[in-house]
Structure 1
Amino acid sequence: MTRKILPKFVYLDRGYLRFIRRARGQSIMMKEEYGSPEFWEHYNMLLRGREPVPAKRNFEALIWSYYDSEAFKKLKPRTKSDYRKYIEHIRLIWGQKDPAKVEPHHVYELHRANSERWRQANYLVQVMIVLMNHARLIGFLRKEHGNPAKGIPLFKQQSEGWEPWPDDIRAEFEEVATSRARLVYELCIGTGQRIGDVLSIRWSHLQNGAYDCTQGKTDKELWIPLTDRLKAYLATVEKKGLTVVTDASGRPVRYRTVAEEMRKVKGKMQHPEASKYVTHGPRKNATIELYRAGCDDEMVKAVTGAQVSRCWKKYGGKVRQRELATRAQEARNKMEQNRAGT
């Protein structure tokens, strides 16, 4: 049996058939024989809507209940997509397991089994916490059970976070980048925003030399004056659509499309380490430039929208420490000079 002869939304899954309709959050195993009346009856029911949630207490039922909850519906589209990816992994391994029988050591083992990808392993635990909280709300867990996913020690970040792009990387990228990749780069540097927010910038958001926006991840409202460099660059950009960054037809583009385009640009660069610097790096460059210009934490927060504590630890800690130490020692030198002159 090949994919070409299967009806829409039906896929082969390790010898079985699965109905997958991501827009509705459906991922359902079809155990009926392909082409049988029972198969088509089940298939047509799934096309009309979601399969009834089974009464049995298992992760399959828990997941459908969570997908129907207001908590899930209120998530940002990108967060929903990320949650679904990890929830489907949990469904795959524990679909028929009773949530009440999950103990901390089970979650710990799940976490350790994914240790080679520490970020994904940590996300799995975080999603488990959300699912098990929902299990308590719908009566799948009793209060005395607690949340077995809470308290699992997460893997520590294996680096200091995204690295800023060095000057030589930036110089070569600016020279060889495609027009759209360069535009995204300039917007990230100039506004200090995440690439997801940069891609949603509309020309109408740019008024009187400033960018008026609401961050997609935090819902934080920001008003950011544009740098002279960004103003000059935007003056050279053709307005093809509502958004500043578009495809050839003037339509908005997806994050993955632009990220892949920027990866290809870096892959063709002469610098041997170009590929290791990720698309999020220019946001860190913007933060560091603010600190080097003498901005304090609140000023940096006003531009980037980042929390001061995170900004200090992840982006500007070393740079800010050096700037403060330099200013402190200069003050001492000045004091000594004044004392010697008296």
Structure 2
Amino acid sequence: MTRKGLPKFVYEDRGYLRFIRRARGLSVMMKEEFGTPEFWDHYNRLIKGREPVPVKRTIETLALSYFESDAFKKLKPRTQADYRKYIEHIRRTWGDKDPQKLETHHVYALHRANAEHWRQANYLVQVLVVLLNHARLIGFLKKEHGNPAKGVPLFKQEGDGWEPWPEDVRTEFEAIAPPRARLVYELCLGTGQRIGDVLKFRWSHFKDGAFDFTQGKTDKPMWIPMTNRLRDYLASAPKNGLTVVCGANGRPAHYRVIADEMRAVKEQMTHSDATKYVTHGLRKNATIELYESGCDDEMVKAVTGHSGVDMLKKYGGRIRQRVLATRAQEARNRAEQNKPGT
């Protein structure tokens, strides 16, 4: 929903205009053509409060209200885009439905209907929880109704999530990747960060052998020394703009462009499974290398920025368990050797 030069309280939404003034409980569709005398007559009546049309309690009006809320406006642009996409799906499904009549079995059925794409199905439920929390804030749901989206069992991820890149895939990628794709690869592997953060790295973030930045997803300040490999690679990388990874004319590179470029390299590779390894898997490679180097959970989190051990279990997988078990048994051996009489 956008303004695009429209008068106060008027928004364009999916091809029509709507007058929204939450302080007075107004949400009115304006069918008149913008700029016509009929439009301005209707608009002036709404401004003066002469058309006390109450907000109809529907998923449609709930979504419009949420898009205007401070909570939505504070989200990161990419998160806003994701929320809009999933809320549009909810609007198409239940646009005219009263939120108070929405029950857990409705949400469960919606979730199961999208089971073919389990990540999207889970995210749909998670966004619906947020939307219905907003419904309670604006009086569309009463306390006794609770939040019908909460408690819906989500699909479990098979395996340990994103696959780390095997050594043979990494070797072939390094051999054929063009400079920009290789630069992204080295940054993801060397820093252990998400590609969204990697694309925002500026040369000014790299000082005294370390990089100093704030993670986009978590807003967590990070200061991380560079590995020798990454330092040496960046020493020969061209500086064509403010960001390390550049697009056209030295401007910051767009996520979709880089994702397509990385995918294109893997499609050219001879390895039969190359295309199944995504760029985010390099974050898992970095996590595993940290564990294999003898780092404990806190040390790994200090580099990758993971917020909790549960995520480390997901990314570190069996390597984490193996390393920790080895250190634990070595500690037992030392204790046994130090016992009197042994």
Q: For the Cα contact (< 8 Å) 1:189–1:283, is it kept in 2?
A: yes
Partner Cα distance (1:192, 1:80) in 2: 25
Q: For the Cα contact (< 8 Å) 1:203–1:242, is it kept in 2?
A: yes
Find out whether 1:130 has 2:130 as its counterpart: yes
Q: For the Cα contact (< 8 Å) 2:306–2:312, is it kept in 1?
A: no
Cα offset, 1:271, TM superposition: 0.3
Cα offset, 1:307, TM superposition: 2.1
Q: Equivalent residue for 1:142? A: 142
Partner Cα distance (2:31, 2:142) in 1: 38
Moved more, 328-337 or 153-162: 328-337
Q: For the Cα contact (< 8 Å) 2:194–2:283, is it kept in 1?
A: yes
Q: 1:43 to 1:163 in 2, by over 3 A?
A: farther
- Aligned-residue RMSD, C-alpha: 2.9
Cα offset, 1:172, TM superposition: 0.3
Q: Equivalent residue for 2:21? A: none
Partner Cα distance (1:201, 1:184) in 2: 11
Q: Equivalent residue for 1:41? A: 33
1:67-146 → structure 2 map (5 Å cutoff) = 67-146=67-146
Q: 1:23 to 1:246 in 2, by over 3 A?
A: farther
Cα offset, 1:155, TM superposition: 0.8
Q: 2:14 aligns with which of 16, 22, 28?
A: 28
Q: For the Cα contact (< 8 Å) 1:181–1:258, is it kept in 2?
A: yes
Q: For the Cα contact (< 8 Å) 1:163–1:281, is it kept in 2?
A: yes
Opposite residue 266 of structure 1, the aligned amino acid is K
Q: For the Cα contact (< 8 Å) 1:173–1:266, is it kept in 2?
A: yes
Moved more, 62-71 or 328-337: 328-337
Partner Cα distance (1:282, 1:74) in 2: 29
Partner Cα distance (1:23, 1:89) in 2: 24
Find out whether 1:172 has 2:172 as its counterpart: yes
Q: 1:143 to 1:232 in 2, by over 3 A?
A: same
Q: For the Cα contact (< 8 Å) 1:311–1:317, is it kept in 2?
A: no
Secondary structure, counterpart of 1:148 in structure 2: coil
Opposite residue 41 of structure 1, the aligned amino acid is E
Q: For the Cα contact (< 8 Å) 1:100–1:140, is it kept in 2?
A: yes
Cα offset, 1:334, TM superposition: 6.3
Q: Equivalent residue for 1:252? A: 252
1:244-284 per-residue CA deviation (whole Å, 9 max, x = no partner) reads 00014111011111111101100110000000001101111
Q: How many residues align?
A: 313
Moved more, 182-191 or 22-31: 22-31
Partner Cα distance (1:248, 1:108) in 2: 45
Partner Cα distance (1:67, 1:328) in 2: 51
Structure 1: gaps (5+ residues): 1-19, 32-37
- Deviating runs (4+, > 6 A) in structure 1? 22-25, 51-54, 334-339
Cα offset, 1:175, TM superposition: 0.5
1:271-303 per-residue CA deviation (whole Å, 9 max, x = no partner) reads 000000011011111111110000000000111
Moved more, 314-323 or 121-130: 314-323
Q: Equivalent residue for 1:287? A: 287
Q: 1:193 to 1:133 in 2, by over 3 A?
A: same
Opposite residue 95 of structure 1, the aligned amino acid is G
